[in-house]
Structure 1
């Protein structure tokens, strides 16, 4: 089972990929387009051209996990602009919103940390 933790590095591929690709094809994209090691433990997120499905791949130390979500209706509302470099980093809560077809950029969530007051 995959557990997403705040320490995980999550990288979203901006360009759509051919979803006929499996683990080997997606790890090749990680190396060539994203310029990242697929064995690093990062979580890599890809979408198809129609934006009706996403694939997530990660390495857990023993092997690769490949997950896919295909929407039964419509398309994913948000995906990074092509004006960005080949990747877009996300926080865990943003990936969770993306999986539920939300918009990570418009979400109103608490800041990731708060300054601790030293005086009472």
Structure 2
């Protein structure tokens, strides 16, 4: 189980990811495009091109977690753009995003 606390290190990728790739592909995106270690314990959040699905990747103890949220209607709104390839996010903001209120997403500044 993934526990989100105020100390969770969460990063949101500002560019859409190819969701045809799974854990290994998103881990490669973390290393190559985001210059981050996917096994660091941070949670990396991605969106697809259509903005209808998000995925979160994290490594815990002995393996990866890959979580997916697909909207049955509508799109995620307010996804950050033009602020680099990755932005930090607070756990409360990720909870809000996962609860289906993405249009209220406000990123904290680094």
Query: What CA distance in whole angstroms lies between the structure 2 residues aligned with 1:100 and 1:65?
Result: 19
Per the alignment, residue 48 of structure 2 pairs with 48
Pairs aligned (count): 105
User: 1:77 Cα shift?
Assistant: 1.7
Per the alignment, residue 37 of structure 1 pairs with 37
Which moves more between the two structures, 1-10 or 66-75? Answer: 1-10
TM-score of the aligned structures, taking structure 2 as reference length: 0.91
Any conservation in 2 of the 1:77–1:101 contact (CA below 8 Å)?
no
What residue ranges of structure 1 are gaps of 5+ in the alignment? 107-120
What residue ranges of structure 2 are gaps of 5+ in the alignment? none
Per the alignment, residue 78 of structure 1 pairs with 78
Tell me the SS of whatever aligns to 1:20.
coil
1:1-120 mapped onto 2 (5 Å cutoff): 1-81=1-81, 83-102=82-101, 103-105=104-106
CA RMSD of aligned residues (A): 1.2
User: 1:67 Cα shift?
Assistant: 0.4
Larger radius of gyration: 1
